[in-house]
Structure 1
Amino acid sequence: MTTERSERAGQPEKRGIGFVADEERTGRPRQLFAVWAAPNVSYLSFAVGATLILMGLTLPQAIGVILAGNLLWIATGVVAASGPAAGTSGSVISRAFYGVIGNKIVLIVTGWLIASAYLALNWSAASVAGIGLAQHWGLPASAGVDAGVICLIAGVTLLVAIYGYATIVRLYAALSVLLTVVFVIVTVYVLGSVDWSYTPAAPLHGTALAAALGAGFTIIGSTALSYSNSPDLARYLPRTSSITAIAGWTAFGAYLPSVVFTSVGALAATTLDMADPQAALETVLPGWFVPVFVIAVVLNTVANNGMTAYSASLSIQSVGVRLARIPAVLVIGALGTAMTLYAILVFDFLTSVNTMLQLVVVSTGPAMAIAVTDLVMRRNRYHGELLLRQERGGPFWYRGGLHWAGLVALLAGALASVMWVSTTFWTGPLATAAGGVDLAIPAGMGVAALAYWGIARALGTIPRSYGEGAPEGAPQTEDSTTKGSELCTPTSS
C-alpha cells in the first residue's frame, strides 16, 4: 500500500490513519514527556484538587487520592506502546479488540462523543478564565463576548490539531517549560496562603468517608482513562523503541504535573473559596500577573484539546467517514464548540466538571482495560497494514465484522461501572446499597479485563503463534497454531 510522507513542524499534517513506514519514523521516547506534560500543567487540575477538599476530605486524604488516582496514567503509557508496533493510530489498532464493524460502533462513543465532551470541558475551563480577562480589560459582560472568546480559543486549538504531530512535538516542548514556570509562580503564591492545620468543619467517617474517597478517586482517575488515543503520537517512533521507555515517559510526563498541580488546588481550598477557582486564585496573585496566568490557562487548554482534536479526527476516518484529516478536525471542533457554548451559557462550571468526570469512566475505564489486556495477550504484536484492511473476511473481520470478546467485555464492564458509579446525576444500585461508595473504575476495569481475557481465550481469537511467512501480527485462531511444525513464534517488536 502507498504511504504518505511524514510532515514537518510548521506545515499542516496531511497524514490520517495511514501506515507510517519504518523509514519515516524518527525521534526518541523521551520526547513523549513534554508532549504529555504540556496538557497536564493544567488549570483544570486546580479545580479538581479543590473539589476534593470541598467534598469534605482532609489534606492528607486528598493528597492520597491524588497520588493513587493518577497512577492510572500507567495504563495510558502501556497502551501508547502499541503505536510504534502497529505504525498506525489507536483508533485503527482497536479493530483488533472489537472487529472492523464493532470498532466503528465503539468509536462513535469513545472517539466522537466523549472526545467532543472533553473538548467542551477544557474549553469551558479556559473560556471561564478568558471571559474574566475580557471583562478585566473593559469588554462588556454579554453572551456575544462570551461566545467570541469561546470561538477564538477553539479556533487556535484546531490550528494546532491541523498542523499535527511534528508541530505538536516541537510546540509542546516549549509550552511545557513556559506553563510550568507560570504555574510554579502561582503555586508559590498559593502556598503562602495555605492553612496547613486545616480540618473540615465536619470530618467524614465510616461510609461517608468511603463515599468521598471513592468519588475522588473516580474524578482523578477519569482523566488518565480518557486518553486511549496515546498510540496516535507514539506511532511516529521507531518500531524498535523500548516498550518500557514509551510507557514510562508517557506516564511520567502526565503523572508529575497532574499530581503537583492537583495537590496545589487542594491546598488552595484550605483558605480560598474555590467554587470559582479563577476568582479565588486571583485574590492571592499580584494584579500584574493575573493576565499572564489567564493566558497560561488558555495555552494549556490549547495544548490539551489540540491532542484531543487531533486524535478525534483520526477516529472519524477510522469509522469510515470519507473526510481528509483536516476537514475531520473541523467537524469535531464544531461539535465541541457547540457543546462548550451550551455548557458555559447554561450550566455551572464546577458541577459540569465533576459530573462529567465521574460519568465518562463508565465507558473509558472498560475500554482502557480491554486495550491493555489485548496488548498483554498479543505481547504487543500488531501489524498496521493488516489492521488497515477492512474487507469482508479480512484478518480482523472475525465473525460478521464483530469481535464478540471485545464488545461483550465492553458492555459488561460498562454495566458493572454503571452499577457502582455515584454522582448527583445518577447513583448505581450497588453504590446506593454501599452508602454511596463509588467503585466505578475498579469494577468496570476489572470486569472488562476478565471478560475479554476469558472470552478471547474461549473463542481462540488471540494468536499465540503465527504461520511461517505470515506478517508479524497476523491473526490466527489458537486452533490453527497447533496444526503443523511450520508454525513459529515471531520476533518481538
Structure 2
Amino acid sequence: MTRPADDEAFVDSASQPETRGIELIDEADRHGRPRDLFFVWAAPNVSVLNFTIGATMITLGLTLWQAILVILVGCLPWIFTGIVAIAGPAAGTSGSVITRAMYGIIGNKVIVAFTGWLISAVFLALNWLASSFMGADLLARLGLTNPIVWPIVVTLVVSAITVVIAVYGHGLILRVYSWVTIFLLVVFLAVTAFILPNVDWGYRPAQPLNGVPLWASVTVGITLLASTPLSYSNSPDLARYLPKDAKPSHIVAATALGGAIPSAFFTIVGALLATGVTQAQLDAGIDVALLDMLPAWLGVLLVVGVIVNTVSLNGMTTYSSSMALQAIGIPIRRIPSAIVVGAIGTALTIYLVMSTSLLEAVNLMLQFLVIVTGPAMAVFVTDIVLRRNRYDGVELFDERRGATFWYTGGFSVAGMSAVVLGGIATALCLSTTVWVGAISTALGGVDLSVEVGMIVSAVLYAVLLRSRLGRRGLPLR
C-alpha cells in the first residue's frame, strides 16, 4: 500500500507544494466543505472554449433557440461528474485508484492509461491551444506577427504556469479558485455585454433544417457538449480531502452546478456571438471575431482572462493526471509526474498550433473522446450505485494475487467487458467529419453515441458485476 513515510510528507497548503499523491488520506487530515467544490469547478468552466462550442451549434445549422435548447440538454451530464465525486471522500484516495474496484488491479492500469493521462493530455492541448491562438492574435495586433513562433511562446509560458499550479496542488486550488472565478466572471460578463448588441435574436440559417438532418445536427451538438462533463471521471480527486461524513448530496450539487452553470451560460453566449458575425469571421476563428468586436482594452483583458482560465483548468487537469501516472504503476512521485504530463500536453499543443484551427481541433477531438469517456463514466456511476458508495481504501491498495479486487488474473471481466463493448457501441453510433459509424450511417447521420454507449456499458456492467464473475468484489449486504 502507498502510504507516507512520515507526517511531514503530507502537505495540503496553498503556500507549499503538495507532496501527497494517491496515498490514503487519514480522517485526521480531512478538511473543507462540499460547497467549496462549486468554485473549484466553476473557475475552469468560465472559458473561451465554451464560446467556441457555442458557435459550433450555429455552424451545425441550428436556429438560435434550437441551439440554446441543445446546450441546456448537453449540460445535463454534469450530474454524472457530481455523482462520481462522492467516491473520493468515501475511499480517501484518487479516482484513478478507486476504479480498481471496477477493472481489477491490472485492468485498471490499462483503463487509466486512456481515461487518465491520455485524455488529460488532449484536454491540456485543447485549452492551451485556445490561449495560444488568442494570445498570438493579440500579439499580432501589437506587431508581433510570426504565426508559428508567438503561439508557441504563449503555449510555453502558459504551460509553465499551469505546471506550477499542479505542483502546489489541492491546497492552492482550493484557496485561489474562488477568486479566480470572480475575476473570470467579471471579465466574461463584460465581454458578454459587448456581444449582446450584435446578436441576431431571430437568427435562422438560410436553409433551416428539418427531419433527419435536423436531428443529426441536434444529436451531434449534444455529443460535443456532453464530452466535457463525461471526461471528468477524475472529480473524486478534488473531493477526496473532504471528511468521510460529508453529505453526498451536497458534493453532487456543488460539483455538478459548479461545472454546469458557467458551461451552459457561456456556451449560450458563444451561440449568440455566432449569430452576429460573418461566415468569414467564423472561418478565421471565433477568437479573432471576439477581438474584432471588443474595444482594445477589453480585448487585452479577455486574453488575460483566457490565460487565467486555461491555467485554472489545466492546473486541475495536470494535478489529476499526475496521480493517474502513479496509479498506472509508474514509479514516480506526484510532482515529477505533473511535470511529465505538462511536457506531453505542451508537445501536443505545439503540434496542433502548427497544423489546425481551433474550431476544427475542438470539434473533432471532443467527439472522439466520448468513445472512451462515456462508457468509463457509465461504469463508474453504476459501480457507485451498486456498492452504495462503499469503498474500502485499504482494500483498494491491496495488489496481492487473490485480493478483493484482483478478480481474474488481475482483470475484472465485468468492468473491462462493459467499457470495451460500450466503446464499440459508441463508435458505431458516432458521426464526425472523418468517421461515421454504421448505426449512425443507417440513421442518416444521427449521433446517439453518448446515449447508446453509456446505456450499453451501464447495463452490461450491472449484469456482469452481480454474476459469479464480479460478485467477489461487490459488498451485497
Residue 25 of structure 2 corresponds to residue 20 of structure 1: yes
| CA shift digits 1:350-393 (9 cap, x unpaired) | 11110111110011000000000000000000011211221222
Distance 1:148 1:333 in 2: 15
Cα distance, 1:462 vs. partner? 4.3
| CA shift digits 1:191-245 (9 cap, x unpaired) | 1111111111110011100100010000011000010000001000000000000
Distance 1:381 1:132 in 2: 50
Letter in 2 for 1:285: L
Secondary structure of residue in 2 paired with 1:27: coil
| CA shift digits 1:129-174 (9 cap, x unpaired) | 1111222233241422222111111111111111100000111111
Assess if the C-alpha contact under 8 Å between 1:420 and 1:440 holds in 2. Answer: yes
Residue 326 of structure 2 corresponds to residue 317 of structure 1: yes
1:45 matched residue in structure 2: 50
Count residues in correspondence.
468
2:452 matched residue in structure 1: 443
Letter in 2 for 1:399: T
Assess if the C-alpha contact under 8 Å between 1:123 and 1:154 holds in 2. Answer: yes
Residue 301 of structure 2 corresponds to residue 296 of structure 1: no
Assess if the C-alpha contact under 8 Å between 2:71 and 2:264 holds in 1. Answer: yes
Letter in 1 for 2:150: V
Two-structure CA RMSD over aligned residues (Å): 1.3
Which residue, 138, 143, 150 being the options, matches 2:148? 143
Assess if the C-alpha contact under 8 Å between 1:97 and 1:374 holds in 2. Answer: yes
Distance 2:80 2:170 in 1: 22
1:486 matched residue in structure 2: none
Distance 1:427 1:68 in 2: 23
Assess if the C-alpha contact under 8 Å between 2:91 and 2:98 holds in 1. Answer: yes
2:384 matched residue in structure 1: 375
Secondary structure of residue in 2 paired with 1:192: helix
Letter in 1 for 2:161: V
Distance 2:144 2:85 in 1: 44
TM-score under structure 1 length normalisation: 0.93
1:184 matched residue in structure 2: 189
2:399 matched residue in structure 1: 390
1:270 matched residue in structure 2: 275
Which residue, 219, 239, 247 being the options, matches 2:244? 239
Letter in 2 for 1:264: V
1:68 matched residue in structure 2: 73
Distance 1:152 1:331 in 2: 16
Letter in 1 for 2:323: L
Assess if the C-alpha contact under 8 Å between 1:38 and 1:172 holds in 2. Answer: yes
Residue 468 of structure 2 corresponds to residue 459 of structure 1: yes
Letter in 1 for 2:282: M
Distance 1:68 1:92 in 2: 31
Residue 340 of structure 2 corresponds to residue 335 of structure 1: no
Distance 2:142 2:246 in 1: 49
Letter in 1 for 2:167: I
Secondary structure of residue in 2 paired with 1:195: coil
2:137 matched residue in structure 1: 132
Assess if the C-alpha contact under 8 Å between 2:387 and 2:474 holds in 1. Answer: no
Residue 418 of structure 2 corresponds to residue 413 of structure 1: no
Distance 2:357 2:184 in 1: 26
Cα distance, 1:274 vs. partner? 3.2
Assess if the C-alpha contact under 8 Å between 2:465 and 2:474 holds in 1. Answer: no
Letter in 2 for 1:279: V
Secondary structure of residue in 2 paired with 1:71: coil
Secondary structure of residue in 1 paired with 2:301: helix
Residue 264 of structure 2 corresponds to residue 255 of structure 1: no
Q: 1:20 to 1:191 in 2, by over 3 A?
A: same
Q: Between the two proteins, what is the percent identity of the paired residues?
A: 48
Cα distance, 1:456 vs. partner? 0.7
Residue 365 of structure 2 corresponds to residue 356 of structure 1: yes
1:426 matched residue in structure 2: 435
Distance 1:110 1:99 in 2: 15
Assess if the C-alpha contact under 8 Å between 1:460 and 1:477 holds in 2. Answer: no
2:119 matched residue in structure 1: 114
2:163 matched residue in structure 1: 158
Assess if the C-alpha contact under 8 Å between 1:377 and 1:462 holds in 2. Answer: no
Distance 2:147 2:227 in 1: 33
Letter in 2 for 1:314: M
Q: 1:279 to 1:142 in 2, by over 3 A?
A: closer
Assess if the C-alpha contact under 8 Å between 1:51 and 1:266 holds in 2. Answer: yes
1:8 matched residue in structure 2: 13
In structure 1, the gaps of 5 or more residues are: 464-474, 479-488
Residue 231 of structure 2 corresponds to residue 226 of structure 1: yes
Distance 1:35 1:459 in 2: 40
Assess if the C-alpha contact under 8 Å between 1:419 and 1:431 holds in 2. Answer: yes
Assess if the C-alpha contact under 8 Å between 1:461 and 1:477 holds in 2. Answer: no
| CA shift digits 1:230-282 (9 cap, x unpaired) | 00010000000000000010000011000100000001111113331111112
Letter in 2 for 1:204: L
